[in-house]
């Protein structure tokens, strides 16, 4: 082993130790699926908080964070009842420092959520897709569901398991040139790297339920992806780069609507 490889090996061991690793696979609520969890959720939340701040800092300096009050107000109003339902589903998340930022980037059609409820929505999603409130609720509920289901924790754990490649992956993910190290780098990577089909299916299932319980029409989950598919004819929304094909998504969501309509109708009645 060369001196450089030895350095990277021991640095990786230090990284893994500093992340507060556990050695077990765990069954995660609300999915009931056994997940790899080398990184504890508590550690992932702390790392995500750091990464979130670092990722947004250069954008804030350019006045590209929460710079459009009307969009910010609309997104916050839609997100509030969904977050309330997320807390009902996982009561421990009431302790999360939920936060949602609007990034002013009309060319980026995307939204994401990190561990601990740190979220972002790009103005391009609003301006290109032009979702109505029910459709926008589906986007937000889907991303919130990734956090609820500990998908960032899972992706960080997979990355930690191959920590010798962290530096190379960081370059490949085209992360901004900011001083990220250790857990913060893994948390930023978790946003950039695609979710598995299993993760996407889980977030779809949980998200449409959260939105329905919050009083948003489940049929909008299908019309949202119809709009996404139409937008992909002229451009490739970044959101689609980490999600299955819109037509496959529509078909899967349609099968869930009959189960969700009673929840929606109950919420509307209340």
The model's pLDDT over 64-98, given as tens digits with 9 standing for 90+, comes to 999 999 999 999 999 999 999 999 999 999 999 99
| 104 vs 161, residue with greater confidence | 104
Which of the residue ranges 26-40, 107-121, 148-162, 244-258 has the most confident prediction, judged by mean pLDDT? 107-121
**Would you tell me how many other CB atoms lie within 10 Å of the CB of residue 245?**
13
The answer on pLDDT for 268 being more than 90 is: yes
User: Which pLDDT score, from 0 to 100, does residue 196 have?
Assistant: 76
**Residue 204 binned pLDDT confidence (cut-offs 50, 70, 90):** very high
The answer on pLDDT for 30 being more than 80 is: no
The answer on pLDDT for 245 being more than 50 is: yes
Strands 99-103 and 33-36: unpaired
Secondary structure of the chain as H, E, C letters: CCHHHHHHHHHHHHHHHHCCECCCEEEECCCCEEEECCECHHHHHHHHHHHHHHHHHHHHHCCCECCCHHHHHHHHHHHHHHHHHHHHHCHHHHHCCCEEEEECCCCCCCEEEECCCEEEEEHHHHHHHCCCHHHHHHHHHHHHHHHHCCHHHHHHHHHHHCHHHHHHHHHHCCCCCCCCCHHHHHHHHHHHCCCCHHHHHHHHHHHHHHHHHCCCCCCHHHHHHHHHHHHCCCCCCHHHHCCCCHHHHHHHHHHHHHHHHHHHHHHHHC
- Sign (positive or negative) of CA dihedral 52, 38, 149, 109: positive
Q: What is the rounded average pLDDT of the residues 49-54?
A: 93
Q: What is the rounded average pLDDT of the residues 32-61?
A: 89
Tokens of 151: 């998908």
User: Which pLDDT score, from 0 to 100, does residue 33 have?
Assistant: 79
Tell me how far CA of residue 234 lies from CA of 117, 127, 136, in angstroms. 32, 14, 21
The answer on pLDDT for 187 being more than 70 is: no
> Which residues are tagged catalytic?
143
Non-local CB neighbours of 81 within 8 Å, separated by 6+ positions: 214, 215
User: Which pLDDT score, from 0 to 100, does residue 229 have?
Assistant: 83
User: What average pLDDT does the structure give for the chain?
Assistant: 81
Q: What is the rounded average pLDDT of the residues 216-223?
A: 97
Give the residues across from 39 on adjacent strands. Answer: 21
The answer on pLDDT for 161 being more than 70 is: no
**Residue 54 binned pLDDT confidence (cut-offs 50, 70, 90):** very high
Please say whether the beta carbons of 109 and 223 come within 8 A.
no
Tokens of 211: 């939105």
**Residue 18 binned pLDDT confidence (cut-offs 50, 70, 90):** very low
Tokens of 257: 């609507």
The answer on pLDDT for 122 being more than 80 is: yes
User: Which pLDDT score, from 0 to 100, does residue 25 have?
Assistant: 67
User: Which pLDDT score, from 0 to 100, does residue 199 have?
Assistant: 87
């Amino acid at each position: 082993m060369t001196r450089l490889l030895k350095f990277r090996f021991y640095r990786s061991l230090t990284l893994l130790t500093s992340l507060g690793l556990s050695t077990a696979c765990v069954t995660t609520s609300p999915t009931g699926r056994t997940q790899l969890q080398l990184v504890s959720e508590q550690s992932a939340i702390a790392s995500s908080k750091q990464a979130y701040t670092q990722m947004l800092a250069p954008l804030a300096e350019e006045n590209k964070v929460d710079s459009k009050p009307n969009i910010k107000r609309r997104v916050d109003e839609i997100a509030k009842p969904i977050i309330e339902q997320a807390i009902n589903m996982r009561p421990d998340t009431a302790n999360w420092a939920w936060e949602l930022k609007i990034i002013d980037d009309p060319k980026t059609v995307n939204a994401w959520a990190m561990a601990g409820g740190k979220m972002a929505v790009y103005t391009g999603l609003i301006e290109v897709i032009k979702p109505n409130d029910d459709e926008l609720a589906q986007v937000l509920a889907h991303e919130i569901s990734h956090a609820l289901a500990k998908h960032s924790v899972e992706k960080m754990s997979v990355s930690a398991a191959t920590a010798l490649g962290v530096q190379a992956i960081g370059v490949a993910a085209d992360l901004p040139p900011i001083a990220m190290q250790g857990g913060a780098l893994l948390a930023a990577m978790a946003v950039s790297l695609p979710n598995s089909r299993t993760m996407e299916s889980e977030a779809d299932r949980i998200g449409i339920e959260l939105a329905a319980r919050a009083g948003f029409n489940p049929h909008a989950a299908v019309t949202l992806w119809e709009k996404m598919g139409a937008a992909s004819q002229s451009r490739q929304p970044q959101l689609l780069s980490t999600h299955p094909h819109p037509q496959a998504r529509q078909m899967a969501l349609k099968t869930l609507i009959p189960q969700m309509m009673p929840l929606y109708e109950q919420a509307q009645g209340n």
